Amino acid sequence: MTDTIITTWWSAAGGVGKTTLAVAHAQELAKQHKDDVALMDFSEARPDIYKLLDQAFLDPNKVLNAIENGAIANIKDFMSKKGNMYVFTGIPLEQFEMFQEKHFSAIIRSAKENFKHIIIDTNAGIFFSATAAALKASDKINVVLRPDILCLEDTATMINFLSERWGIDINRFRFNLNRILPGNLDLETAERVLGREIIEISLKLGKIQMPFKKPKKGFFNFLERSIHNAYKSV
Ligand SMILES: Nc1ncnc2c1ncn2[C@@H]1O[C@H](COP(=O)(O)OP(=O)(O)OP(=O)(O)O)[C@@H](O)[C@H]1O
Ligand SMILES: [Mg+2]
């Protein structure tokens, strides 16, 4: 599909809520776009979405063979269905060495042919091939932060790297401060460091408030200085 939107949930630090939010996001989208939403577990080595959704784990060798033999005819053949959405259940540790960035890119390309919305859940950091493929292919990158200054600093440093070294357009990033997690980072400091609007995620009436706002344009030229200034003021 030409108008497919690919959204990746990513973070610099681990355990900040990516998987929780990616699943919630995909389920929300699937209510409006029945059978047109793909949730891809790209948490290389440690996929867990299939457990959260109580689904069978699919053997990734099959999709690997399809790619190696030429092409994936239909990615849906390698996904399981959960309600109104399709799920790619991922690659476990025993097999992840066989998958390279080009394999993950092929999986994304194939999903693009079949779905209007693709939601990808990634590992924290930037050192996995699945994360690299997802970040490069994404229209939107939803960054999740824990509310503490170290997480903020790691996030800013890594995004600077992604922007400068991998050429990822900074306007694709949007920031989500996960208030469910402990920490006292204030919104103002976080917005000053990142130079962008940040959406706070909280629990309201027992439901996760979903971060679907649009981002503002232009930031990151002065990240290093912003971090320095933020440190001075905390
Ligand atoms: N917004 C939220 N609402 C409810 N629970 C949350 C939320 N954010 C995080 N949690 C809880 O925090 C823990 C970590 O969340 P999750 O597994 O989604 O993080 P992650 O960023 O995907 O971790 P990893 O880097 O290990 O993949 C889980 O127990 C999850 O239930
Ligand atoms: Mg996760």
Of 11-15, 42-46, 81-85, 98-102, where does mean pLDDT reach its minimum?
42-46
Question: Does pLDDT of 45 surpass 90?
Answer: no
The domain defined by 5-229 folds into Rossmann fold (3.40.50)
Is any ligand 1 atom within 6 A of the Cβ of residue 14? yes
Q: Is 155 within 8 Å of 11 (Cβ atoms)?
A: yes
| Percent of the chain with pLDDT strictly greater than 70 | 85
Ligand 1 pocket mutation pick from 20, 91, 204 by most atoms within 8 angstroms of CB: 20
Q: Which residue has the higher pLDDT, 20 or 89?
A: 89
15 touches ligand 1 (CB under 6 Å): yes
CA–centroid distance, residue 181 to ligand 1 (Å)? 9
Which atom of ligand 1 lies closest to the CA of 20? Answer: 18
**Among 80-89, 184-193, 195-204, which stretch is predicted with the lowest mean pLDDT?**
195-204
> Which is it for strands 140-145 and 80-82: parallel, antiparallel or unpaired?
unpaired
The CB of 13 under 6 Å from ligand 1? The reply is no
Which ligand sits closest to the CA of 124? Answer: 1
Is ligand 1 within 6 A of the CB of residue 43? yes
**Domains of the chain by residue range:** 5-229
- pLDDT at 154 (0 to 100): 95
For residue 66, pLDDT beyond 70: yes
Residue 228 has pLDDT above 60, yes or no: no
Q: 146 CB under 6 A from ligand 1?
A: no
Residue with tokens 């998987």: 19
> For residue 209, what pLDDT band results from cuts at 50, 70 and 90?
low
pLDDT digits (tens, 9 = 90+) for 109-138: 999 999 999 999 999 999 899 999 999 999
Supply 147's token pair.
């509310």
Distance 184 CA to ligand 2 centre (A): 22
Is the shortest distance between the CB of 6 and ligand 1 below 6 Å? no
Using a 6 Å cutoff on CB, does residue 226 contact ligand 1? no
Q: What is the mean pLDDT of the chain?
A: 86
The pLDDT assigned to 200 comes to 87
What pLDDT score does 208 carry?
55
With bands split at pLDDT 50, 70 and 90, how would you rate the model's confidence at 5? very high
Name residue 142's beta-bridge partners: 9, 174
Token readout for 55 is: 């689904």
Q: What distance in angstroms lies between residue 16's CA and the mean position of ligand 1's atoms?
A: 5
pLDDT tens digits for range 10-43 = 999 999 989 988 988 898 889 889 999 999 999 9
Q: Could you tell me if 133 and 105 are in contact, meaning their C-beta atoms sit under 8 angstroms apart?
A: yes
Q: Is the pLDDT of residue 225 over 90?
A: no
The 3-class SS string of the chain reads CCCCEEEEEEECCCCCCHHHHHHHHHHHHHHHCCCCEEEEEECCECCCHHHHCCCCCCCCHHHHHHHHCCCCCCHHHHCEEECCEEEECCCECCCHHHCCHHHHHHHHHHHHCCCCEEEEEEEECCCCHHHHHHHHHCCEEEEEECCCHHHHHHHHHHHHHHHHHCCCCHHHEEEEEECCCCCCCCHHHHHHHHCCCEEEECEECCEECCCCCCCCCCCCCCHHHHHHHHHHHC
Q: Between residues 52 and 119, which one has the greater pLDDT?
A: 119
Give the Cα separation of 124 and 130 in Å (integer): 11
